[in-house]
Amino acid sequence: MITVSTSDIVKKPRLISAPEEITMIEDARSHTPKSVLLPIELYEMVKEKIEDELYLYKNTKALGMKFEESEEVIAELLG
């Protein structure tokens, strides 16, 4: 994993145009994480699991579950 700042991206946009490894982007002034880029191959592998987890997280109340229960379901999906 590499870490680049927002000012690095302005100077070298190729850092984010086609990442070859996981890239964390942090704010140049406060050095706080702002975003993470994944190579497309890695993204395709985890895309479905991410979508499932987001669905459960967003719809916990509608599904009649408590947040803790949804975490158990998410753990089973990722397991």
Residues 30 and 45 in one domain: no
Q: Are 16 and 34 in contact (CB under 8 A)?
A: no
User: Per-residue pLDDT for 11 more than 70?
Assistant: yes
Amino acid at the residue 12 = K
Token pair, residue 58, equals: 């967003």
How many C-beta atoms surround the C-beta of residue 49 within 10 A? 12
Tens digits of per-residue pLDDT, 24-67? 889 888 888 888 888 888 888 888 888 888 887 777 777 776 66
Local structure of residue 39 (DSSP, 8 states):
-
Residues 24 and 47 in one domain: no
Residues 33 and 45 in one domain: no
Phi, psi of 67 (to 5 degrees): -60, -40
Local structure of residue 49 (DSSP, 8 states):
H
Residues 18 and 6 in one domain: yes
Residues 13 and 32 in one domain: yes
Q: Looking at the 3D structure of the chain, how many domains does it have?
A: 2
Task: Tell me the average pLDDT across 11-20.
Answer: 80
